[in-house]
Amino acid sequence: MRLKTEIIVAAELKRAQSLGLFATIVHRGDGNAGQIYIILNKNNREFILIGPPFGASIDDDGRKLWYFPLGEAPAQQSVLDEYLNKIQKFDRDIYILEIEDKALEYRPAGVFPPREDPDVLAMKQQAEDLFK
């Protein structure tokens, strides 16, 4: 049985706040099954996006899976907005959380898959190019 999205969102907000970070919901999606995207905001100029991977978002042990859709390096607001706008065109049910984190070290509860080999990354890039 999967947890409702609204429960995961509430837990992530509490978790961030317990670490002394300001956290807010930027866009409220489907409380039952919406995907979650988390924006880490360093200084209103550098951002890291964390979101669900392509395909399954829960591993075999029931843990939430995460990855960095725009890479692990900080991105600009315009790049972030463009990506999230594309996602929202296909899925209006997503949740978007924003966490102010000057160190960009916050990670949501769950699992980040290990870095992938170049062949898998090339296949993902081809899949992303279809959305452009």
Confidence of residue 18 (pLDDT cuts 50, 70, 90): very high
Confidence of residue 121 (pLDDT cuts 50, 70, 90): low
**Which one is predicted more confidently, 54 or 5?**
5
pLDDT at position 5: 92
pLDDT at position 132: 59
- In tens, the pLDDT along 19-57 reads 999 999 999 999 898 999 999 999 999 999 999 988 778
- For residue 56, the 8-state DSSP code is -
Comparing CA positions, the residue from 48, 53, 61 lying closest to residue 100 is: 48
Rounded CA separation 96/5 (Å): 11
Rounded CA separation 62/35 (Å): 16
Comparing CA positions, the residue from 6, 24, 16, 4 lying closest to residue 97 is: 24
pLDDT at position 54: 80
The whole-model pTM stands at 0.84
**Which one is predicted more confidently, 3 or 42?**
42
Which domains are assigned to the chain?
5-129 (3.40.1530.20)
Cβ within 8 Å of residue 35, ≥6 positions away: 5, 29, 51, 52, 57, 91, 93, 94, 95
- In tens, the pLDDT along 55-104 reads 778 888 888 899 999 999 999 999 999 999 999 998 899 999 999 999 99
pLDDT at position 96: 97
The DSSP bridge pattern shows strands 22-27 and 47-50 to be unpaired
- Whole-angstrom CA distances from 3 to 10, 22, 33, 61 are 11, 24, 9, 14
